[in-house]
Structures are given as structure tokens and as C-alpha cells.
Amino acid sequence: MKSAVYILELCNGQYYIGSTPNLERRLNEHRLGKAMSTKGKLPFKLVFSQGFVQLQEARNMEYKLKKYKNKNIIKQIVADGFIKSSGC
């Protein structure tokens, strides 16, 4: 399975950005409340994911996305369904 960067929309309207070597497993951890970052903010919706060959690529993209303080940029990525390379 490919590594991925993903965006969750939490029940409080916030976005959570993460990366993982196994998206299905990580989403299950979030659903079961085993991820401290989203525990207590359930339910959530997976609104975006993008695969990468290497985990480090996904981690790098996660860090870049987390630097954005403007929620509208994240909303645009979700709406577009992909990350524009010029934006990162």
C-alpha cells in the first residue's frame, strides 16, 4: 500500500492533517479513538487523501500543509481534490 497524506474534517469543523504508511489502518485508529489528536472530536469525515511512493514524501507534504494558517487554502485543496505543486 502507498503512503498517503490525508485531511479529516472533524465534528467541530476543524481540519486534521496527517500522513501514514497505511491509510486504512490509520483511519481505523482514528475511528476507535486511539489517535490522541482526534480523540474527543469524533465523528470525522475523510475529505482528502493523496498517495505517495515514499513515506518521507507524504510526511514532507503533511508538514507543508500544516504550515498554512489560512483555512481557505485547505478548503481549496479539498475542493480541487489534489495538491497543486506550485502551492507547496
Average pLDDT of the chain, as a whole number: 90
Identity of residue 64: K
Confidence grade of residue 86 (pLDDT, cut at 50, 70, 90): very low
Say how many domains are in the chain.
1
Q: What is the CATH number of the domain that holds 35?
A: 3.40.1440.10
Domain that holds residue 37: 3-87
3-state secondary structure the chain: CCEEEEEEEECCCCEEEEEECCHHHHHHHHHCCCCCCCCCCCCEEEEEEEEECCHHHHHHHHHHHHHCCCHHHHHHHHHHCCCCHHHC
Mean pLDDT calculated for residue range 47-52: 96
**For residue 51, what are the β-bridge partners?**
4
* Residue 34 to residue 73: CA distance in whole angstroms: 28
